Amino acid sequence: MKYLNILLALFLVIEVQAQSNPEVYLGDFSLTDEGFEISNLINISNNPGYDNQPSFVPNMSAVLFSSQRGESTDIKMYDYELNSTVWLTESEGGKYSPTTMPDEDFFSAIWLKPDGEQLLWKFPFTEGEPSVLVPDEVIGYHSWFDDHTLYTFVLGDTFTFVEFDLENDRRTVIATNPGRSIHKVPETNEVSFIDKNEPTQWLVKTYDPDSKRMTTLTRTPDGSEDMFWINSGSFLIGTNNGLMLWKEGHGYTAPVPIFDSNGVISRISLSSDRTKIAIVFAESEE
């Protein structure tokens, strides 16, 4: 376990250092006959340090994201109707990938403590103490499927795509060498992940937990892995300073530049009504 904790700490440090001052932007989103439109982008993090991994809070006009505060990384919530920001955590270490839990009273996040311990925790939105969700598992990324099922990127000698059934205390390895982008597919009973077993050919795949069927949808653009579903038949994926739209039966559109400067779009998130988009962009250093 100590070896895995050190490995995960290095894994996260490499990801943070690979991006120069990533910032979280929020804008309006809509589908069009030609593709999509994004407008009114604003920087909602405005922080000289690390800001990343946004996710929308269902039934609220709010976005969660990780944000550097001194020597720690904590979770912020930005309310875009009130134009206000509040810290939801204040503790040592790094908190990453905040995700609203299905009951909507709590959010889950990876907590990397200063001593190297790395676990998935459950945090209250209001009062209360956090608690460990999945003991003794070095989880890098996660996505909720229902109120008791998680799909995760687990570190080990081999990275694995793992299903955790918390209600029945069951752990199932689905695949090896996943990417960090894991999502429930809207309007279906499937979950998607990026298969990175081939270094030069990453694949978007879906998994149906009922039939145990795995389906390959498409390759990702070279070097891209951060995507987000619009609906059951289309998703956005980042590529350099732009986004591409994939539609089932049509493939990818040409990249649409979102930022004027050179850099990399990593994380993408859409609100549940698909009218708002959060984008993480790290401008290239000249």
Domain CATH for 218: 2.120.10.30
Residue 111 falls inside a structural domain: yes
22-62 pLDDT, tens per residue? Answer: 999 999 999 998 899 999 999 999 998 999 999 999 999 99
Domain boundaries, position 113: 2-273
The answer to whether residues 65 and 279 touch, using CB atoms and an 8 Å cutoff, is no
pLDDT at 162 over 50: yes
Closest CA to 149 of 177, 180, 182: 182
What's the average model confidence in pLDDT over 159-178?
Answer: 97
Residue 172 falls inside a structural domain: yes
What's the average model confidence in pLDDT over 243-251?
Answer: 97
Residue 122 falls inside a structural domain: yes
Round to the nearest angstrom and report the end-to-end CA distance of the chain: 40
Q: What is the per-residue pLDDT for 55?
A: 98
What's the average model confidence in pLDDT over 253-263?
Answer: 95
Residue 284 falls inside a structural domain: no
Cα gap 14→50, rounded to integer Å: 12
Residue 174 falls inside a structural domain: yes
Cα gap 261→25, rounded to integer Å: 14
Q: What is the per-residue pLDDT for 19?
A: 52
Tally of structural domains, the chain: 1
192-243 pLDDT, tens per residue? Answer: 999 999 988 999 999 999 999 999 999 999 999 999 999 999 999 999 999 9
* Cβ-based neighbour number of residue 181 at 10 Å: 25
Residue 124 falls inside a structural domain: yes
Residue 283 falls inside a structural domain: no
The answer to whether residues 62 and 77 touch, using CB atoms and an 8 Å cutoff, is yes
12-21 pLDDT, tens per residue? Answer: 444 544 456 8
Instruction: Give ∠ CA 205-153-252 in degrees, rounded to 5.
Output: 30
The answer to whether residues 94 and 73 touch, using CB atoms and an 8 Å cutoff, is yes
Closest CA to 182 of 154, 210, 218, 156: 154
The single-letter code of the amino acid at 170 is R
Q: What is the per-residue pLDDT for 34?
A: 86
Assign 274 a pLDDT band (cuts: 50, 70, 90).
very high
Residue 224 falls inside a structural domain: yes
By CB atoms closer than 10 A (0-12, 13-18, 19+), residue 50 is: buried
Average pLDDT over the chain, rounded to whole? 93
Cα gap 161→180, rounded to integer Å: 10
Structure tokens given for 258: 């979102």
Structure tokens given for 116: 């190297």
